[in-house]
Amino acid sequence: MTKLDHATLLALTVGEPSIHRGMSIAPIFPRTGPVAEYVTLGEALALGASVEEVSEEGSVSRLVFWNPTPERVLLYDGEELVGAKQNRILDVAVLADAKSELTIPVSCVERGRWSRPTMTFHDAPAAPGPRVRRVKAQHLAGAPARPGVAQGAVWEEVSRREAELGAASPTSAHQDLFAARAEDVERVSGAFRPAPGQCGMAMAIEGRVLCLDYVSRPEAFVHLFPKLLAGYALDAIGRLDGPVVGRETFELFVDGLAEREPTRRPSVGLGEDLRLAGPGSIGSGLMLDGELIQLSAYAVDEGPGRPVAAPSRRRPRMV
């Protein structure tokens, strides 16, 4: 028995990757059907839920989620919220109960604005790429719900991405990076499509697996797929046409995560916050009644177990 088989990590199947200019996307499928029911943040906002500042003065590191709907709502770790005093990203995955109110931890991704053109937030069409989300996860590993722990590192990474992409923003807004490189992001993203029943995906570029994203319900993943893929594409700009990663390397990455001894804490909402750390990778997620609801995992540079490409005996599907 592996250390996370009860959390169904090994009940994930890695599909054959699709390849575009050296960027590999492997679909992730569950081996068992989902139990917990929920909708995504975007669906909930359309049903009347809202995200607001905690007060008129506001707080950089905290927001309020109001859910008047009869549905549980999954707020995906790293989703971006646009509006109110400044744009933020979710620090952790949160499963909000039906008809509830929660204070949620966030990090700012718009350093140069503190004004209120709108009263509430809307969900952004694109989520930050693996680099920004990985930096946040690394700094939150020991204290995932503590406000502001990752803020300085997130600002630094957004600024670094501005410089690398040549996409200066007047307010250092992360969403402005997508606007500045919209054609590049669209060209890369347009090469990939979700498969029926897919619940997650992993991305590799330059011969290395960089990240994995997973939710327990395929209908939720359909809503998250374009957001996450846009972030993958943004991080791929300037790094295309490198070595190709095959399915076996993705499977090694998933197997490595399954061997991690998890750290569990009470979640901000329903369920437990899950943290994984070990040579070569880190992960964060959400469990409810033994079911893995959400997982994000990233390669890290330190340690001898860094996941790198191995020669693939399979022929990836070209797109």
Whether the CB-CB separation of 241 and 268 falls below 8 Å is answered with no
Q: What pLDDT shows up at residue 261?
A: 82
Whether the CB-CB separation of 182 and 4 falls below 8 Å is answered with no
Mean pLDDT of 282-310: 75
Which tens digits make up the pLDDT trace of 214-240? 999 999 999 999 999 999 999 999 999
Residue 80 belongs to domain spanning:
5-318
Q: Three-state DSSP class for 80?
A: strand
Copy the structure tokens of residue 126.
């694109």
Whether the CB-CB separation of 235 and 221 falls below 8 Å is answered with no
Q: Is the pTM of this model over 0.85?
A: yes
Which tens digits make up the pLDDT trace of 52-76? 999 999 999 999 999 999 999 999 9
Q: Which amino acid does the sequence have at 242?
A: G
Candidates 225, 226, 274; CA nearest to 95 is: 274
C-alpha angle 145-99-295 in degrees, rounded to nearest 5: 40
Number of structural domains, the chain? 1
Helix (H) or strand (E) holding 62: strand 62-67
**pLDDT at position 280 over 70:** yes
Q: Three-state DSSP class for 26?
A: strand
**pLDDT at position 310 over 60:** no
